[in-house]
Structure 1
Amino acid sequence: MSGRPARSGGPDPLDLLAVSDLLSDEERLIGATVRRFADDRIRPHIGDWFEQGVFPARELAPELGALGLLGMHLDGYGCTGSSAVAYGVACLELEAADSGLRSFVSVQGSLAMRAIHAFGSEEQKQQWLPGMAAGRTIGCFALTEPDFGSDPAGMRTTARRKGTDWVLSGSKMWITNGSIADVAVVWAQTEEGVRGFLVPSGTRGFTAQDIHGKLSLRASVTSELAFDEVVLPADAVLPGVTGLRGPLSCLNEARFGILWGTVGAARDCYASALDYAKSRVQFGRPIAAFQLTQEKLVEMALKLEQAYLVAWRVGRLKDEGKSRAAHVSFGKLNNVRSALEIARSARTVLGANGVTTAYPVLRHANNLESVLTYEGTSEIHTLVLGEAITGEAAYQ
């Protein structure tokens, strides 16, 4: 996981249980490759991007595509068909750089591409997926609305038939990649139930406006989408699914990437705190030599390894075809919480230096506040697990 040499034959401080030994050689190679990319192309700039509130998606997307990271867990159409754990390891290394980077890859692959791959016609797949896999084409996934997040069944966006066409009306909120997307996967109420529609950018009546003033996920494009009587041809609808099963199954794929990605954010915070504690001298000695600092570092190490083990186990279950929604909820709920606790504790080790963009910990902590909420709030995942444990649904 860390690649840091063990001290005097002892355990790796960033992977005390050697969880990375549970990965295959290919999975470790993927992790190392993504880490090199992040070190070369993201880390030197991410502090500035976060401060400026920008993300150069158009520049980075082809590079991510060349690495095979866009839709990497899908088969065909230019996708690499990697294992779930391999995809998870990639997400870990992406989010170790920044949650915004992992969010871009997740939305592109696990949401937009996955919806087309799972529910699109062959013509739709051929039209969109190769370009999306290569990073030439960017997609977004529009489900959340201003008044409906955790309860998507109440969405007000509608699509009605008009002859052989569809007419789409409504709005969507908090849409990653929204204003830069070449195609939006939009979910709307119809007489038949919830359906998905492919809406190319530039379609008359379709507008996207970026959301500003964010204190979290600043190195990420977040938009509000509006659909004013947008006329779509009959072949714009995804033919393979009707109902919320479609979008919710895509969200479950994205949540899987999150439960791995947050391990990367946690590791980056812990590594920063550890390095700082060993070099920061107070009262004539490194603060790593003080008991209270060591307690903080130990607690971080425990939470990090526990989260890593959870991610690995859910990944193996997924590769074996045994993963269920409750497993993914377990991973997202546990790992985001653990990552947030690690980030906050790491900030205290860094003291005042921890609140600057010179160090990653508060950037990660701010990002993780969004990750805690999106793709299912902690409350929703608690209820998913509660239902799995008791057999009783308690959402209302």
Structure 2
Amino acid sequence: MLWTKDANRMCGAEMPRQKNADQPPLLPGFRTPKEAFRDLRNYLAGQVVGATRDETLLDELLKVLFCKLYVERGLGDPSEPNSDPFEVANRVRTIFGKVRLDFRDIYPDGTEILLDPQAICRILEVCDFPLTEAGADPIGDAFEVFIGSEARGRSGQFFTPQPVTDLLVEALAPKPDETVIDPACGAGGFLTAVARHFSANGVPPTAIAEYSTRNLYGIDKDDYLAKLARMHVALLTGGHPRIYCGDSLAMQNGNGGLDRDLPKRGFDVLLTNPPFGVKIVAAKPEVLRKFDLARRWRPEPRTGRLQPTGEFLSQVPPQVLFVERCLALLRDGGRLGMVVPESLLSNKSYRHVVEFILANADVEAVIGMPEALFKTSGKG
């Protein structure tokens, strides 16, 4: 769903075609990065000693991929023809020392690559494709392969398929001088889609890195997913995005209010796929009292239009509260692209939500998507 807060700007977009559908095999037997990562997951799960959980294996994979990114940027080559695995591993560990210095927010002092030389070489061999190729998101593929099934059980969210993130980003068309936020960012799918959008439109890599550090924001309640989102954007852009672990509905994190970390004027663009589900306890009673959509709404006798009463509900689905929160985060004239369940717009019990949207924004498009598109993915 696309809308603009208190503005008349119109926009629209067609569903983009899947990128790289006919790309040649990466290596014999691997047609896509996702297939390559499935092979790596099976290899690492069977060969790595002391680390069998998917989250731990993914962390180690990402350390090596950060080093590969440095190689792609000309900051050192870890491998040479016929190099000994131990020599290759030592070069990779040296490069990781530079990574650690540049990304202290992700890798604190003392962090090391725990994989053995054979595992490091296996990753470099299988991941023989560019990490920053325009239109592709191999890091997102790695997240889905390693933690997709586990993430499905967390908080009612799913990995947002790349065709969906690309569609909404193309529709809202963020500009390099605009601020962007995803208040339920998961593993950073929408944020990286913004970076890919700039790359596809000729914005230089250095400018994209500066943009992601200055203007790209994300929030997620899950500390691990917030960390993954920072890694995701950093790997794609080389920048340091402003991604926080916090509660977007309560506007709180471990250090207090999130408001102080966000632009006072509001955001230019908001893109999100918030958690769905009537069984999810989205907010405490004291937080619910900050939302008009947490009130009971009744028809006004004279006009029949629904109006909020002074009575607050004991529980409200998160997708309802996120509608109000997202509009509050936008500046006047800001643009919002949000994935919502069909029931939010078609079910009579949510009529008050539709009226709230129409009273506070100009709806520019409602785009139907098949439910199966989302059930093949995990959170993010």
TM-score (norm 2): 0.31
- The one of the two structures with greater contact order (alpha-carbon pairs below 8 A, sep at least 6) is 2
Whichever structure has more helix as a proportion of its residues is 1
